[in-house]
Amino acid sequence: MRTPLVLGNWKMHGSQAFARGLAESVRARSGEFPGVRLGVCPPYVMLPIIAKALDGSSVAYGAQNVSEFAEGAYTGEISAGMLKELGCSYALVGHSERRQLFAETSDQVVQKLVAAYGAGLIPVLCVGETLAERQAEATGRVIEAQLQPLLSHPEADRLLAALIIAYEPVWAIGTGQTASPEQAQEVHGDIRRLIRARAPVAADELLILYGGSVKPGNAVELFAMPDIDGGLIGGAALKAEDFCAIAAAAAASKRS
Ligand code: PGA
């Protein structure tokens, strides 16, 4: 039985006051979504204020990125241990904006994943194809290539039992254009099959989130798909009302 997760990715938005207000609003309503886990990933510098706002609540929090290195002369980087110390539960790794804008490779992303796991964080590995790749019918190949360094890692069994995968088609992120439930399900099913070939037990327990323009209006039908176990929510996570409506959709779709 997989417990759905609705995880907000706030990206580089807001201020300390905004972050506190948003976290408090989500916290105030967090009891309304039975059987759903909630989490938020604010910018690094807002983590302490989020930790305070969510203290003692069921809403978890995490980071949008993490260094692959444990410590040292890496100016501007933040280690997994530092995030753990702040009470983070999650760390996103390999978000498409990191891959595209900051040239992160799939090998580096797995190093980040291993660092997050090693510090006791739950890594959320983001994968997804661009529009050109989808149009070239290369979606399956692209995602398999993004997962390959993980699948061939010597610790793959343990990592696969601990992590979460987020399928986020790049063409759907921040564009208002969502993958149809059928398109998303097809990829989620393929991802689970790929994982099953390497780690059969972990594959059934693995949460695979969908991300890319999830909104209150499309969440129910996406979450109703058998291999979609919740969402990674960008723009709609910046409004407590929308984020909570998406959480309600997760609670409703997994109940029926
Ligand atoms: P979006 O972003 O919901 O604004 O499309 C999702 C994400 O990038 O995680």
| 7 strand-pairing partners | 39, 232
How confident is the model over 40-72, as pLDDT tens digits?
999 999 999 999 999 999 999 999 999 999 999
Residue 215 Cα to ligand 1 midpoint, Å, equals 10
Q: What is d(CA 168, CA 126) in angstroms, rounded to the nearest whole number?
A: 7
Structural domain total, the chain:
1
Burial of 31 (0-12, 13-18, 19+ CB in 10 A): exposed
Residue 73 Cα to ligand 1 midpoint, Å, equals 32
Q: What's the pTM? A: 0.97
Burial of 154 (0-12, 13-18, 19+ CB in 10 A): exposed
Q: Alpha helices of the chain — where are they, by DSSP H?
A: 16-29, 47-54, 80-85, 96-101, 106-118, 131-135, 139-151, 156-162, 181-198, 200-205, 216-223, 240-255
| CB of 185 closer than 8 Å to CB of 228 | yes
pLDDT surpassing 90 at residue 176? no
CB of 212 closer than 6 angstroms to any ligand 1 atom: yes
Query: Which amino acid belongs to residue 110?
Result: V
How confident is the model over 106-160, as pLDDT tens digits?
999 999 999 999 999 999 999 999 999 999 999 999 999 999 999 999 999 999 9
| CB of 4 closer than 8 Å to CB of 228 | no
CB of 170 closer than 6 angstroms to any ligand 1 atom: no
Q: Which domain holds residue 205?
A: 5-255
Question: What CATH number has the domain bearing residue 158?
Answer: 3.20.20.70
Q: Would you give the end-to-end CA distance of the chain in angstroms?
A: 14
